[in-house]
Structure 1
């Protein structure tokens, strides 16, 4: 179902956001590319913008600001995993070899969050909802359709995400070398090794947005100042390609291959 009306099961990807040096430019780029609605948010949250699709929250874009002695965060799309108790999740993350990059913090009345790094170096967020549980539109053009862990060590990732976040990494039928992220028996994302990535690619979580036409989306992104990372290609799950926005944020676009009879 593309409309999500209830909080996500703990461990499920529930939100993505981008921290960008030029907040307004990032909002304009993605608003034009995906048809999102929204604008710069309240100053008390640094202008963080909640972007909408069909009047429902779909993704966030915030300013890349230094916090304390830390440098500004890189321009990357971050996947947030749902939690019922961010403090308890933080304890499990550190107990299983992960590191907290930003400790648990309150975000007004909307929720509590943290940002962490798994033992292989992939960065992710954790979101505990209060007034806001995450994306309310998924799996349709302009919305997130897939979250994927790309890791240098699938065994280490499996050993971490299970006890820390309740996510099991299991082989996906018919997709050699590819793993499903399972939460309570439901596939909520994917995982794979970095062997098919360019040398030097660090472990990371990738965000896929659904589109009606991959080639026209790629063309539009490049015309708007983005860069083509992986040319559009046909795969068993659909046509896809990877792009970088003008400020360096990398994301994938895909038109999924629908099963016969759907």
Structure 2
């Protein structure tokens, strides 16, 4: 378990949110999976719902917008990478070949954000925390554990993230035969990775939640109106792909030990 109360270093996945067409149904689904409770908030950008785990903020739900679906029309949990200056990082993203889709704006008193895309088209946001540093719990069941970028042409993405966020790029000996590169901050902390998949229809940041029992979670997801793939054992734990009632894809993992990777 990791409790987070301060802003994360540049580039750390620090917050996640999801646009949904039916907020009440989404709240019921994710409560059934993760036991989340909710806090309603509003900002100049519109209303949103904070998701709480034991009273700590771990994610947000909000009304869906045109910016939520990717080029293939699919919905994914939206990752925010930390910055101490949202406006400056947004400018650096453009200089480095990315795109600003929604310019920097304040989200109530919580922080400042911008929606951007890397040169391969993968969308993410920036998060400059104010009263909300980001996810207040990570690396424990029912909370965020990691994010990885899957894309058909990983070369431009690797150069982009190394330039904008000063990440190092390291191979993964645990996955021979797979085109996977760890992304690490200058302090050596692993924030995720880039997975090259020529068959991927588009570049997407993928979200993984930790769970206590992957098989049980799969059953809960199906009972709550979602769909799920067959649980499989991977080098880092037992995983399954989940799709919520609106077509949003994410993964869950039960790790063999509490030592994990992701935000500190």
Q: Post-superposition shift, 1:82?
A: 0.1
Partner of 2:64: 64
Q: What does residue range 189-228 of structure 1 map to in structure 2 within 5 Å?
A: 189-195=192-198, 199-228=199-228
CA distance in 2, matches of 1:25, 1:169: 40
CA distance in 2, matches of 1:5, 1:55: 13
Question: Counterpart of 1:38 in 2: which secondary structure?
Answer: strand
* 1:79 maps onto 2:74 in alignment: no
TM-score for the superposition, normalised by structure 2: 0.89
Distance 1:178-1:259 versus aligned 2 partners, 3 A rule: farther
- In structure 2, stretches of 5+ residues that fail to align are 70-74, 260-264
Post-superposition Cα deviations, 1:162-190, rounded to whole Å, max 9, x if no partner, equal 11122233213433332211012111112
Matches within 5 A, 1:32-181: 32-42=32-42, 46-65=46-65, 71=66, 73-74=68-69, 75-176=75-176, 177-181=179-183
TM-score, length basis structure 1: 0.90
Which segments of 5 or more consecutive residues in structure 1 lack a partner in the other structure? Answer: 66-70
In structure 2, distance between residues paired with 1:52 and 1:227: 23
Query: Number of residues paired by the alignment?
Result: 251
Q: Which residue of 2 aligns with 1:13?
A: 13
Q: Give the structure with the larger strand fraction.
A: 2
Distance in 2 (alpha carbons) for counterparts of 1:54 and 1:95: 41
RMSD, matched Cα: 1.8
Residues 24, 46 of structure 1: alpha-carbon distance in 2 compared, 3 angstrom cutoff:
farther
- What does residue 72 of structure 2 align with? none
Query: Aligned pair in 2 of structure 1 residues 39, 5: CA closer, same or farther (>3 Å)?
Result: closer
Asked if the contact 2:225–2:245 (Cα under 8 Å) also holds between the matched residues in 1, the reply is yes
SS of the residue 1:109 aligns to? coil
